[in-house]
Amino acid sequence: MLAAQIIINALVLGCLYACIAIGFSLVWGVLNVINLIHGSIIVLGAYLAWGAYQSMAISPWYVLPVAVPVFFVFGYLLQRLLLNRVLHAPVLVTLTLTFGLDLILNNAMIYFFKADYRKLTLKPPMGSVSLFHVVVPVDRLIATVLALALTGLLYLLLRHSRIGRAIVAVRLDRDAAILMGVDVRSIYAIAFGIGAALAGCAGVLMALIFPISALTSSSYLDKAFVVCVLGGLGSVSGALAGGLLLALVEGIGSAAIGPAYATTLSFALLIVFLLFRPQGLLGRKGFE
């Protein structure tokens, strides 16, 4: 039964990890930018959920429809006004820029929300469901379903919409996309906006599960990075596979050798993948 519980926990967590990583993966894949501000945007989303619940008792599920446009606009403007200027500069410049932006956003959050860990506790609690002695809290279950839904939405958007096709086309062959009349700068901004919206939404969902503090942003960023390497860049399914693998490794590792080593284990796995399977589980050139 313990094994079943570990696997169910990993599935639940894995979907959330995937949700953390897809926006990061999209930006990395399409813009070729490693977006170091991603973790802080996730935390900002968590604070948004926390604030809405503390002040107006609005449940995180209802925050999502607001978070999507707000964070999209935030990301879109960030790209249009700042990142666009350095896009063709060497990779170190984009890293430095997103690192600096991350410092600003992160310290602003510490300033406004203090460094104390906050907790979003639903009142009354939603309880949990149990099946064959496997117990899952209901709020986590809902968060997982929503994370999966967001992942699925991105998949549909990229597969079946005009703008999605253009995003994939720019990733596959920038010059050919220009010949189709695609405005690459605007596609970059939209992709970055979508990435930020997904990060913000992931944060809203994470607020239900993890303590909230600006100090946790780097752990989210690390997870996004590991998931992308494990699953492979370039696909929504890759992020999902990477998220599930990471959660499984962490879950089994925690049970077998103690929670203190879970992160060590996941980064050891990262190194193994970089050595022997750098393209990840499902890495490919297109973004589907």
Which among 39, 61, 34 has a CA at the least distance from the CA of 120?
61
CB of 141 to other proteins, least distance (A): 34
Report the residue number, 87 or 141, with the smaller CB distance to other proteins: 87
3-class secondary structure, 166: helix
Write down the least CB distance from residue 279 to other proteins, Å.
14
Which CB atom, from 110 or from 157, has the smaller least distance to other proteins? 157
**Nearest distance from C-beta of residue 280 to other proteins, angstroms:** 16
Nearer to other proteins, 178 or 274 (CB): 178
What residues line the site for other proteins (CB under 8 A)?
Answer: 162, 165-166, 168-169, 172-173, 175-183, 284-288
d(C-alpha 134, C-alpha 10), whole Å: 12
For the bound state, the minimum distance from the C-beta of residue 185 to other proteins, rounded and expressed in Å, comes to: 11
Report the residue number, 238 or 251, with the smaller CB distance to other proteins: 238
Q: Are strands 128-131 and 134-137 parallel, antiparallel or unpaired?
A: antiparallel
User: Least CB distance from residue 100 to other proteins, whole Å?
Assistant: 30
- Cβ neighbour number for residue 116 with a 10 Å cutoff: 11
**Helical pair 138-160 and 60-81, crossing angle rounded to 10 deg:** 40
Tell the smallest beta-carbon distance from residue 165 to other proteins (Å).
Answer: 6
Peptide bond before 124: cis, by omega within 30 degrees of 0? yes
Q: What is the secondary structure of 181-247 as a DSSP string?
A: T--HHHHHHHHHHHHHHHHHHHHHHHTTTS-B-GGGHHHHHHHHHHHHHHH-TT-HHHHHHHHHHHH
Residue of 58, 14, 19, 49 lying closest to 243 (CA atoms): 14
* Number of Cβ within a 10 Å radius of residue 260: 9
Provide the 10 A C-beta neighbour count for residue 30. Answer: 25
Indicate the residue among 129 and 178 with the shorter CB distance to other proteins. Answer: 178
Which CB, 118 or 284, lies closer to other proteins? Answer: 284
